[in-house]
C-alpha cells in the first residue's frame, strides 16, 4: 500500500486521479508534578479523489492511529460524494456538519486540542465523532450562503446496531460577510436516542434514551494577522441541560502565533468541576502547518485561583 501511495505522490499531480496526505502529532505533557508523558496524539492518512477522477463523483477514505486508543488503527471516513455547481451530496461514514471549530482541521487549529465543549456536545463527540448516513449541501452562487441537511443512524461509529431504533437529523447554516472576513451561523440537531452512553456529558453508568435536542451558534472574524472566534453549544437531554462556550483569539506574526482562549463547559456529572478553563499558547510554524512546534498551557480557574495546570509541547509533521 505504501509503495503504491509513494508512486502516486511522484506522479504529475495535475493528472492524478487520487491524492493522499499523511501527518503525525507527537507530544509531551506535564503538570510539573506527577504527570510527565510522551504520546502520539494522532497519526492520520487519507486518500481522496481529485477533480480528474470525475467531474461530479468523488470519494475519501481516512484512517488514524493514536495513543488515546492504545495505538490501534481506526477507520474514520469512508464516503462518496456527488457534486454540481451548487449542490453536494455525501454518502457513507463521515462527520455530520455541526459547529465551526469541529470543521477546522486538527492540523490547523492553534491550540493542541479543540475546546472541551466542542468535543462533548457535537452530535457524536464521544461516540466516535462520525456517523453513517446521507447529507446534502447547498452553496449559493456568490458562496456567501451555505447550508447542510443530514440524516444519520444516530449512534456514532464505536458500535454498530443492527436493530437500531434511533435516528439523527442535522442542519447547519453559515453566512459569509465583509468580503469573507466574517462568518457566522448556527447548527441544529435532533436525535431519537437509543441506549447511548454519552461520556463526559452523563455519568458512565447511565445509558440515555429519549429526545436529544441540541443547537450551536458560532462566529469568526479574521484578518491577515488576527482571528477572533466564539461558539455556544447547548444540549437538552429529555429535561436536563448541558451547555458551554469558548472564545479563542489568535495573533499571527509570520511564522509565529500567539493564542489565548477562555472555555466553559457545564456537564451533567455531579462529581466534575465545571469551572472555566484558560489557555495560553505559542506556535512556531517552521514550514507552515507542515512542520510546526506548539506550546499549549492550560489551567482551571476555580474560586479565583488557577488549578490543574498542565503544559503540552507538540511537534507536527507531514509526510508529503
Q: Is 141 exposed, middle or buried (0-12, 13-18, 19+ CB in 10 A)?
A: exposed
Cell of 225: 494577522
Tens-level pLDDT at each residue, the chain (320 residues)? 333 434 434 445 567 899 999 999 999 999 999 999 999 999 999 999 999 999 999 999 999 999 887 777 899 999 999 999 999 999 999 999 999 999 999 999 999 999 999 999 999 999 999 999 999 999 999 999 999 999 999 999 988 888 888 899 999 999 999 999 999 999 999 999 999 999 999 999 999 999 999 999 999 999 999 999 999 999 999 999 999 999 999 999 999 999 999 999 999 999 999 999 999 999 999 999 999 999 999 999 988 888 999 999 999 999 87
Structural domains of the chain, ranges and CATH numbers in brackets: 2-318 (2.40.160.10)
The residues with which 280 forms a beta bridge, in sequence order, are 260, 297
| Helix-strand-coil split of the chain, %, nearest 5 | 5, 60, 35
Whole-number Å distance between alpha carbons of 271 and 183: 37
pTM: 0.92
What is the predicted pLDDT for the residue at 70? 76
Whole-number Å distance between alpha carbons of 90 and 129: 16
Name the nearest CA neighbour of 198 among 212, 187, 186.
Answer: 212
Helix (H) or strand (E) holding 3: helix 2-10
Q: Determine contact, residues 28/38, Cβ cutoff 8 Å.
A: yes
Q: Is 198 exposed, middle or buried (0-12, 13-18, 19+ CB in 10 A)?
A: buried
Name the nearest CA neighbour of 208 among 131, 156, 172, 171.
Answer: 156
Question: Within 10 A of 291 (CB to CB), how many other CB atoms are there?
Answer: 14
Question: Within 10 A of 231 (CB to CB), how many other CB atoms are there?
Answer: 23
**3-state SS assignment for residue 118:** helix
Name the nearest CA neighbour of 121 among 214, 238, 218.
Answer: 214
Cell of 171: 442542519
What is the predicted pLDDT for the residue at 10? 42
Amino acid at each position: 500500500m505504501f509503495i503504491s501511495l509513494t508512486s502516486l505522490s511522484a506522479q504529475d499531480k495535475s493528472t492524478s486521479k487520487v491524492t493522499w496526505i499523511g501527518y503525525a502529532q507527537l507530544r509531551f505533557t506535564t503538570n510539573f508534578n506527577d504527570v510527565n508523558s510522551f504520546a502520539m496524539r494522532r497519526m492520520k492518512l487519507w486518500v481522496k479523489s481529485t477533480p480528474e477522477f470525475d467531474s461530479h463523483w468523488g470519494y475519501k477514505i481516512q484512517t488514524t492511529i493514536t495513543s488515546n486508543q492504545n495505538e490501534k488503527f481506526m477507520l474514520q471516513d469512508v464516503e462518496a460524494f456527488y457534486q454540481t455547481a451548487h449542490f453536494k451530496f455525501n454518502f457513507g461514514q463521515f462527520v455530520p456538519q455541526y459547529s465551526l471549530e469541529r470543521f477546522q482541521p486538527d492540523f490547523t487549529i492553534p491550540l493542541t486540542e479543540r475546546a472541551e465543549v466542542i468535543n462533548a456536545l457535537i452530535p457524536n463527540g464521544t461516540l466516535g465523532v462520525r456517523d453513517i448516513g446521507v447529507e446534502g449541501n447547498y452553496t449559493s452562487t456568490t458562496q456567501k450562503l451555505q447550508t447542510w441537511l443530514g440524516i444519520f443512524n444516530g449512534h456514532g461509529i464505536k458500535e454498530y446496531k443492527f436493530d437500531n431504533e434511533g435516528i439523527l437529523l442535522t442542519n447547519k447554516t453559515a453566512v459569509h460577510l465583509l468580503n469573507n472576513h466574517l462568518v457566522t451561523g448556527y447548527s441544529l440537531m435532533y436525535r431519537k436516542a437509543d441506549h447511548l452512553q454519552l461520556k463526559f456529558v452523563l455519568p458512565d453508568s447511565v445509558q440515555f434514551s429519549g429526545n436529544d435536542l441540541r443547537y450551536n451558534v458560532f462566529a469568526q472574524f479574521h484578518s491577515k494577522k488576527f482571528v477572533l472566534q466564539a461558539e455556544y453549544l447547548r444540549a437538552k437531554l429529555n429535561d436536563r441541560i448541558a451547555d458551554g462556550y469558548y472564545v479563542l483569539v489568535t495573533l499571527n506574526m509570520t511564522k509565529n502565533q500567539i493564542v489565548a482562549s477562555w472555555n466553559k463547559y457545564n456537564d451533567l456529572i455531579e462529581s466534575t468541576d465545571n469551572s472555566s478553563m484558560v489557555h495560553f499558547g505559542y506556535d512556531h510554524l517552521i514550514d507552515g502547518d507542515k512542520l510546526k512546534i506548539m506550546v499549549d498551557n492550560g489551567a482551571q480557574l476555580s474560586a479565583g485561583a488557577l488549578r490543574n495546570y498542565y503544559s503540552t509541547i507538540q511537534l507536527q509533521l507531514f509526510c508529503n
